[in-house]
Amino acid sequence: MVLDPSVTRRAINLGLRDATTGWRHIDFFDETIEAIRFSKGARYSLHSVGCYASEDAMFLTQDVATDGDQLLTLDGAYYEAVTVQEHWILDSFVFRDVQAHQLPMWQVSPSSTATWKTLPDDPRSRTKHWIDEYVRDASILKDDGVTQASWDCMFSDPPYPLRLEFRGASNMNGFYVVGQPNSAPEVGHDKYIIGYDERVPVHIVTVDSAGCSGHQLQWRMDAELRYVCETYPLGSLRTLNKRSSRDVMLGSMKLYDTEYELRYMRNKT
């Protein structure tokens, strides 16, 4: 147990979307809180470039904290708040316990996307641009068939909690999520590489929201992706290869997730 009389709470805030990744820019608002830190064990994993070890911890505090926040202790250790639970006695608030993971390799993310502008373009970037360009807002509607649903396209694995997109200030209804491709070179008759066969996973992810069934919105977005692929296959040749669907229970909320494999034929540039 360690008493940390002045922990820096770096409260997470989401800004505007990045034009390349579709992720929201992360800002942190710093304030000081008081907390008691308990060690909860450690995690260890081995990678080709070395081993990675970090501690798990629990912070007890009466001050405000929420999942996604960072907690910086006096000894210079960074932690990420994973869950926050409030404890009450009848109608009197007592304290919060914050389950946290240490971030021993944390560093500020780059604010610029200039490094994405190298050739050939990332297949995720090309696929996102294709979806952004041709998906029709008028086809992505709520249950009444009139009201516009909130949707966007982004790369997979954004660096912040899921709830910050589907609930709260963002309050999004659905996403096209573009993952890392599996690539294979195409070889010409002279044995030189002439292009690449990219297999890009595209997830259609929705949730149930007020006036908007995640199940029906998923089908609208599904049908729109088919329309785009049928209508605009050229430039770099794109075809839908296969489809699979699964639902994920997030407590009482269901996350509807359909995955397409987009076959994407392109030249070297």
For the CA atoms of 208, 151, 221, 157, the dihedral, rounded to the nearest 10 degrees, stands at -90
The torsion angles phi and psi of 194, rounded to 5 degrees, stand at -110, -10
pLDDT, mean of residues 211-225: 94
The torsion angles phi and psi of 76, rounded to 5 degrees, stand at 90, 10
Can you tell me which residue has the tokens 């008759």?
Answer: 189
CATH T-level fold of 119-267: STM4215-like (3.30.2000)
In this prediction the pTM is 0.83
Domains of the chain by residue range: 2-102, 119-267
Q: Which amino acid is at 222?
A: D
pLDDT band at 176 (very low <50, low <70, confident <90, very high): very high
Q: Is the pLDDT of residue 114 over 70?
A: no
pLDDT, mean of residues 125-154: 93
Q: What angle do CA 140, 141, 142 make, to 5 degrees?
A: 140
Can you tell me which residue has the tokens 């990744």?
Answer: 21
Q: Is the pLDDT of residue 20 over 90?
A: no
Residues 2-102, CATH architecture: Beta Barrel (2.40)
Q: Is the pLDDT of residue 126 over 90?
A: no
d(CA 66, CA 188): 55
d(CA 229, CA 114): 29
d(CA 260, CA 239): 10
pLDDT band at 12 (very low <50, low <70, confident <90, very high): confident
